[in-house]
Structures are given as structure tokens and as C-alpha cells.
Amino acid sequence: MMHLLPKYKLPIFVLTLLILIVPSLAFSKNITAKVIKDTELDERISLFCSMYCVGNMKKGTLESITVKETKNDKCNVKGRAALRNRQVTSNITLYDRTIFVNSTGELDPESCELTVEDVKVENDFRNIVTNPLKSNTDVIGKVIVVPDCKSYL
């Protein structure tokens, strides 16, 4: 069978087989738009940025949230927020840096409890996000009840 497929098509064939055989392991479901529409998470990220980000054009947004079922009937949840720090004066951009906050957690679909497992901060040039997270050490391990969590699965 391998000799029937050109070399460049073999990886595509294998990937297609994997997706067909194990679809739940192959895909994450992007629930970003629904979370923004149904919850206050995007507004909270924006509020956090208004308090901690710098510049006259600062902006915090929810970039993505994905959910993926696991073998133990739980779901892995990954989120990413962008916190833009930008200062513009007389059409000159003095600085423009974006900090990314990546979080992972595990959702129990039966109880709708989401446990935060890890939070990582990227590109935090002045510890704008890292310092508040360090002072709030109870973030990792925190359990959040997600109302109507099954609607996101």
C-alpha cells in the first residue's frame, strides 16, 4: 500500500486515518465566540487590562478558548488572552507590546467545575501581569463553576 501513495501524500493519508479513527483525540472545539457572547470573561480581561496595562491605547481581549474531551470523561480547556500595551502620540507609536496569558484547566462536565491547572505569561516586559498573578497565588488550583457548561461541549 505504501508504494501506491507518493511520498508527499503519505503523511496526509496517515493524518486522515488518525482523524477518522480517533476523532475526539484529533480535534479541539473552539468556543471563543460563544464564551464572549454568553459570559463576562472578555469584559473582565478588558477591565484587568484597564487597571494594569499601560499606554493610551491599551486593550485586553480574549483571543481563544478551546475545549477537548479526554479519556477520563473530563475536558481539557485552554484559554489565551492578549493584553496590548500601546502608547501613541501625534501619530507616532512610542511602544506597542502585547502580553499573552495562557491558561489550562480541566472541566468536569457532570459538576461543571473547572479547575485551573496552569497559567503562563509570555512577553511580560515589565511584569505587568506576572506581579499581580504572583500576589494572587491561589489562581492555580482554583475551582470555578461554569454555568451551563454542557452547552460549550
The C-alpha atoms of residue 34 and residue 30 are separated, in whole angstroms, by 9
How many helices and strands in the chain, by DSSP H and E?
5, 6
Query: What confidence tens digit (pLDDT) does each residue in 71-109 have?
Result: 888 999 999 999 999 999 999 999 999 999 999 999 999
Q: Is the pTM of this model over 0.85?
A: no
Query: What confidence tens digit (pLDDT) does each residue in 22-63 have?
Result: 444 447 899 999 999 998 899 989 998 998 899 999 999 999
For range 126-134, the mean pLDDT: 77
Please report which confidence band the pLDDT of residue 139 belongs to, taking 50, 70 and 90 as the band edges: confident
Q: In the structure grid, which three cell numbers stand for residue 124, read together?
A: 511580560
The C-alpha atoms of residue 101 and residue 44 are separated, in whole angstroms, by 13
Q: What is the mean pLDDT of the chain?
A: 82
pLDDT at residue 137 in the model = 61
Contacts of 30 (CB under 8 A, 6+ apart): 64, 65, 66
What b/e string do you get for 21-41 counting C-beta neighbours within 10 Å, with b at 16 or more?
Answer: eeeeeeebeebbeebbeeeee
The C-alpha atoms of residue 109 and residue 117 are separated, in whole angstroms, by 16
Which sequence spans correspond to the domains of the chain? 28-152
Residues in the chain: 153
